[in-house]
C-alpha cells in the first residue's frame, strides 16, 4: 500500500521587530524528520520571510495535486486580527493591523490551498498560539488572545497547541511544550490521528499541570495513521507470510514442500529442493507461499547452499517464465529476509552475506518494483541507514588517509558522507590506550570497499569511494583501524 504524503513545515523564530523565539526552528526540524520516517516528502522553511512563505506555499500547492495526504505544520508567532488567523513571517511589518495582515500568511489561504488540492486528507498543525507581541505597536488594544477557531473543510483536521482564545508558551528544552508532546506520540504504531492527538492532549495537560489544553477541529471522512505497522502497511502478503514463524506448511502443496526442505538447514536437502523449484511449480503457488519460498531461498544461500546461491545469482534467467506478480513475490521475500526476522521485526543484525548479488538485481528494470517494496517496508526505520535500501541513489564516501611506511600503503584517518564523519569506534575492546594509535589491519582496496559496502548496507554499484589523499590505481593497500566501522550509529 503506497501512500502519497507531502508536508510543508515552517519554523519561524528570528523575528526582526520583536524578541526572537527559542523553539520554533527546532520544532520544525524535528517534526520534519519524524514525518519523513512516516513516508512524507517534506518541504522545510526556517526563519522565513513573507516572500519565502508565499513561495513555499505555492510549491506545496503544486505537489499536493499528486498527493493523497497533505500536512502543514507551523511553529512561530500567530495572531488573530478581526476574527481571522495569520502566521507571522520573520519580517512581518506590524506597524498596524492592516500591514500585519498583508505581510503575514493567512491561515485561511493555507486551508483553501489544501481544500482545493484534491487530497483526501488535509492536516494542519499550529504551534502558534503565543501572546501576540505585535499588538504593542498598534493604535488600539486587541483584547482577543491566541488564535480563533476556523472552519475545517471535509477531510481536514486542524490542530492547535491550545484551546481557542488561549495562549501557549515556549518550552524549557529544545522544543515547545506542545511540539514536544506531539513528537512523543506522532509515530505511535497503528494509532489513528484522532487517538494520537488525544495522547498529545493528555501529555500536554500533565506537563503543564492543566494550564495548556490542546484542541482539534476535525471533519475527517476516514481514518489516517501516521505510522502503520508492517502488517497493516504491506497489504500484498498476509501476516503469517511476513511473520513466517507463523506460516503453516501443508505438504500437499509442492511449494510448501520446497519451503520445508529449505528450512532443514542441510545442503543435501536444500539443493535438490531448489533444483526442483521450476517456473511451472511457481506459477501454481500462491503469493504468500512464494514470498516465504523467497525468504528461505535467501536464508539457504547465506547458509552456503550451492543451489540457492546459484538461483540467486541467476535469478533473472531462473525465473523466466514465472508470471510477473509471482516472480515479484519470490524477490520480495528474498529482500525481506535481509532485514526482517521471523516475527517481521527489524533485525538487530542484518543478513548481508549475499547482499551484493541480491542488490545487483536492481539493475534489471523489470525487477525494480521489488526494491520499491523493500524501501516502503524500511521507511519507518530510515534513520538506521545512510541511504534507504531499495532506493537507487548513489552515495559518495570521501576517505582521508596518510602515507604508511611502505609505498602504495595508506592509513585510513577518517571517512565522510553527507557532510558528516562516519568512522567511529564500534567495539570498545579495541580502544587504544591513551596516547596510543589504534590497532590496524591491512586490506586491499577491493576488500576495503566490500567491507564499506556491507557496513553501509549499500551495493557496490551505488557506492562511490573517493580517496582524497592519493590517486587510485588499484594496487594500493589500506591500513584500517580495528574495531572501527562506518555503520550508522
Q: Distance between CA atoms of 294 and 390, rounded to whole angstroms?
A: 17
pLDDT at 134: 67
**pLDDT over 70, % of the chain:** 94
Give residues with Cβ within 8 angstroms of 400, minimum separation 6. 412, 413, 414, 415, 416, 468, 469
- Number of other CB atoms surrounding residue 220 within 10 Å: 19
Q: pLDDT band for position 380 (50/70/90)?
A: confident
Confidence check: pLDDT of 377 > 90: no
Q: What is the mean pLDDT of residues 87-95?
A: 90
Q: Name the residue with higher pLDDT: 18 or 315.
A: 315
- Is residue 178 pLDDT above 50, yes or no? yes
Mean pLDDT for 253-276 is 97
Model pLDDT for residues 410-458, shown as the tens digit of each residue? 999 999 998 889 999 999 999 999 989 899 999 999 999 999 999 999 9
User: Average of pLDDT values for 181-203?
Assistant: 93
The backbone torsions φ and ψ at residue 127, rounded to the nearest 5 degrees and listed phi first, read -100, 65
163-175 per-position pLDDT tens digit: 876 777 666 789 9
Q: How far apart are CA 167 and CA 146, in angstroms?
A: 5
Q: What nine digits make up the cell of 336?
A: 525481506
| Whether residue 342 has pLDDT greater than 80 | yes
Of 34-48, 210-224, 321-335, 371-385, which has the strongest mean pLDDT?
321-335
Name the DSSP letter for residue 421: E
pLDDT of residue 232: 60
Give how far Cα 397 sits from Cα of 313, 453, 473, Å.
Answer: 27, 10, 18
Nearest to 293 by CA among 180, 281, 303: 281
Instruction: Assess contact for 312 and 298: CB atoms under 8 A.
Output: yes
Rounded distance, CA 342 to CA 357, Å? 22
Query: Which pLDDT value is given to residue 389?
Result: 94
Percent of the chain with pLDDT over 90: 70
Question: Averaging pLDDT over each range in 154-168, 221-235, 384-398, which range is the top one?
Answer: 384-398
Grid coordinates standing for 359? 542488490
- Chain mean pLDDT for the chain: 91
Distance CA 236, CA 246 (A): 17
Residue 47 CA to residue 55 CA, distance in Å, equals 14
Mean pLDDT on 189-202: 92
Q: Residue 466: which region, alpha, beta or left (left: phi > 0; alpha: psi -120 to 50)? A: beta
Distance between CA atoms of residues 111 and 99, nearest Å: 21
Contact, 325 vs 287, CB < 8 A? Answer: yes
Cβ-Cβ contacts under 8 Å for 103 (sequence gap 6 or more): 50, 89, 91, 92, 93
**Count of CB atoms within 10 A of residue 343's CB?**
10
The Cα angle at residue 194 between residues 190 and 199, in degrees rounded to 5: 80
Residue 281, CA atoms < 13 Å, CB-side half-sphere: 19
The structural domains of the chain, with segments of one domain joined by +, span 5-228, 232-384, 395-485
CATH of 5-228, one of 3.30.70.270, 1.20.1440.230, 3.40.50.1460, 3.90.1170.50: 3.40.50.1460
For range 195-215, the mean pLDDT: 92
User: Are 24 and 65 spatial neighbours (Cβ–Cβ below 8 Å)?
Assistant: no
DSSP secondary structure code for residue 192 in this structure = B
Average pLDDT over residues 459-464: 95
Cα–Cα distance measured from residue 147 to residue 53, given in angstroms and rounded to the nearest whole number: 19
Q: How far apart are CA 93 and CA 137, in angstroms?
A: 10
Q: Which residue has the cell 558522507?
A: 417
Write the DSSP string, 295-353.
HHHHHHHHTT-HHHHHHHHTHHHHTTTS-HHHHHHHHHHHHHHHHB-TTSPBPSS---T
Contact 356, 453 (CB under 8 A): yes
For the segment 89-106, the average pLDDT, to the nearest whole number, is 89
pLDDT at 133: 67
Q: Is the pLDDT of residue 143 over 60?
A: no
Highest mean pLDDT among 36-40, 189-193, 230-234, 285-289: 285-289
Place of cell 557506492: 463
Report pLDDT for 140.
Answer: 47
Q: Find the length of the chain.
A: 489
pLDDT of residue 125 exceeding 70:
yes
Long-range contacts for 424-428 (Cβ within 8 Å, ≥24 apart)?
Answer: 424/484, 424/485, 424/489, 425/481, 425/483, 425/484, 426/483, 426/484, 426/485, 426/487, 427/482, 427/483, 428/483
User: Does residue 256 carry a pLDDT above 90?
Assistant: yes
Mean pLDDT in residue range 24-51: 94
**pLDDT grade, residue 230 (50/70/90)?**
confident
The model's pTM is: 0.67
Q: Which residues does 138 contact at the CB level (< 8 Å), separation at least 6?
A: 94, 96, 97
- pLDDT given at position 119: 87
Residue 141 has pLDDT above 50, yes or no: no
Residue 142 scores a pLDDT above 60:
no
Amino acid at each position: 500500500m503506497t501512500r502519497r504524503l507531502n508536508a510543508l513545515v515552517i519554523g519561524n523564530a528570528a523575528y526582526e521587530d520583536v524578541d526572537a523565539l527559542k523553539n520554533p526552528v527546532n520544532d520544525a526540524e524535528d517534526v520534519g524528520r519524524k514525518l519523513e520516517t512516516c513516508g512524507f516528502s517534506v518541504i522545510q522553511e526556517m526563519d522565513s520571510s513573507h516572500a519565502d512563505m508565499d513561495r513555499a506555499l505555492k510549491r506545496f500547492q503544486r505537489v499536493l495535486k499528486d498527493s493523497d495526504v497533505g500536512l502543514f505544520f507551523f511553529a512561530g508567532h500567530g495572531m488573530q486580527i478581526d476574527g481571522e488567523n495569520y502566521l507571522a513571517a520573520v519580517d512581518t511589518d506590524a506597524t498596524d493591523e492592516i500591514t500585519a495582515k498583508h505581510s503575514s500568511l493567512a491561515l485561511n489561504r493555507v486551508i483553501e490551498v489544501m481544500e482545493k488540492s484534491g487530497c483526501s486528507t488535509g492536516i494542519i498543525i499550529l504551534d502558534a498560539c503565543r501572546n501576540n507581541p505585535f499588538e504593542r505597536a498598534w493604535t488600539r488594544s486587541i483584547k482577543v488572545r491566541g488564535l480563533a477557531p476556523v472552519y475545517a473543510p471535509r477531510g481536514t483536521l486542524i490542530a492547535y497547541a491550545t484551546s481557542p482564545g488561549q495562549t501557549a508558551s515556549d518550552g524549557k528544552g529544545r522544543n515547545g511544550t506542545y511540539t514536544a508532546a506531539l513528537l512523543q506520540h506522532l509515530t505511535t504504531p497503528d494509532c489513528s490521528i484522532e487517538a494520537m492527538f488525544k495522547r498529545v492532549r493528555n501529555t500536554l495537560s500533565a506537563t503543564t499541570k492543566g494550564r495548556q489544553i490542546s484542541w482539534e477541529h476535525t471533519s475527517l471522512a476516514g481514518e489516517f495513521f501516521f505510522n502503520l505497522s508492517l502488517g497493516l502497511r504491506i497489504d500484498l502478503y498476509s501476516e503469517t507470510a511476513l511473520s513466517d514463524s507463523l506460516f503453516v506448511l501443508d505438504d500437499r502443496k509442492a511449494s510448501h514442500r520446497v519451503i520445508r526442505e529449505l528450512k532443514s538447514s542441510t545442503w543435501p536437502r536444500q539443493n535438490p529442493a531448489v533444483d526442483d523449484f521450476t517456473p511451472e511449480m511457481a506459477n501454481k503457488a500462491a503469493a504468500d507461499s512464494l514470498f516465504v519460498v523467497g525468504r528461505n531461498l535467501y536464508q539457504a544461500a547465506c547458509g552456503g547452499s550451492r543451489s540457492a546461491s546459484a538461483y540467486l545469482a541467476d535469478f533473472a534467467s531462473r525465473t523466466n517464465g514465472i508470471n510477473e506478480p509471482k516472480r515479484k513475490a519470490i524477490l520480495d521475500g528474498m529482500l525481506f529476509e535481509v532485514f526482517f526476522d521471523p516475527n517481521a521485526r527489524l533485525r538487530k543484525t542484518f543478513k548481508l552475506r549475499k547482499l551484493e548479488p541480491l542488490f545487483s538485481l536492481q539493475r534489471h528494470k523489470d525487477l525494480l518494483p521489488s526494491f520499491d517494496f523493500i524501501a516502503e517496508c524500511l521507511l519507518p526505520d530510515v534513520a538506521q541507514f545512510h541511504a534507504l535500501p531499495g532506493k537507487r541513489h548513489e552515495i559518495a564516501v570521501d576517505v582521508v588517509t596518510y602515507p604508511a611506511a611502505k609505498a602504495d600503503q595508506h592509513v585510513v584517518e577518517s571517512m565522510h558522507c553527507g557532510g558528516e564523519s562516519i568512522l567511529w569506534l564500534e567495539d570498545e575492546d579495541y580502544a587504544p590506550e591513551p596516547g596510543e594509535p589504534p590497532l590496524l589491519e591491512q586490506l586491499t582496496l577491493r576488500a576495503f570497499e566490500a567491507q564499506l559496502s556491507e557496513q553501509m548496507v549499500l551495493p557496490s554499484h551505488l557506492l562511490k569511494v573517493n580517496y582524497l589523499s592519493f590517486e587510485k590505481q588499484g594496487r594500493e593497500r589500506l591500513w584500517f583501524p580495528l574495531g572501527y566501522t562506518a555503520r550508522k550509529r
